[in-house]
């Protein structure tokens, strides 16, 4: 977790090994991250997720995250 302003922190990395998925571990880790952020005085937590990672997106949406930005990029190595 990284503070990006006085009121907002960013969850940098959340990963659950494939063997342990679908057991509620990601949900628990995310809940703990949110609780920790709240205890540290943050009022908002954000994160980035790859556009093709539908499982993670579903987890975040079910945990009250919403899409607020869209990042686009273009490869210059064509």
How confident is the prediction for the chain on average, in pLDDT? 93
Q: Residue 48 is part of a domain; what is its CATH number? A: 3.40.630.30
What pLDDT sits at residue 15?
93
Cβ neighbour number for residue 30 with a 10 Å cutoff: 20
33-43 mean pLDDT: 96
Write down the residue that tokens 């943050």 correspond to.
42
Structural domain includes residue 13: yes
Cβ neighbour number for residue 46 with a 10 Å cutoff: 14
What pLDDT sits at residue 71?
85
With 80 as the cut, is the pLDDT of residue 16 above it? yes
pTM value is 0.82
Structural domain includes residue 22: yes
What is the spatial distance between Cα 42 and Cα 15, in angstroms, rounded to a whole number?
22
Q: What domain count does the chain have?
A: 1
Q: Which residues contact 70 (CB under 8 A, 6 or more apart)?
A: none
Q: Which residues contact 76 (CB under 8 A, 6 or more apart)?
A: none
């Amino acid at each position: 977790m990284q503070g990006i302003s006085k009121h907002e922190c960013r969850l940098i990395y959340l990963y659950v090994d494939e063997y342990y998925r679908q057991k509620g571990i990601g949900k628990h880790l995310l809940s703990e991250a949110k609780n920790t952020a709240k205890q540290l005085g943050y009022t908002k937590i954000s994160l980035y997720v790859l556009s093709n990672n539908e499982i993670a997106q579903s987890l975040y949406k079910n945990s009250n995250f919403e899409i607020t930005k869209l990042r686009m990029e273009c490869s210059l190595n064509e």
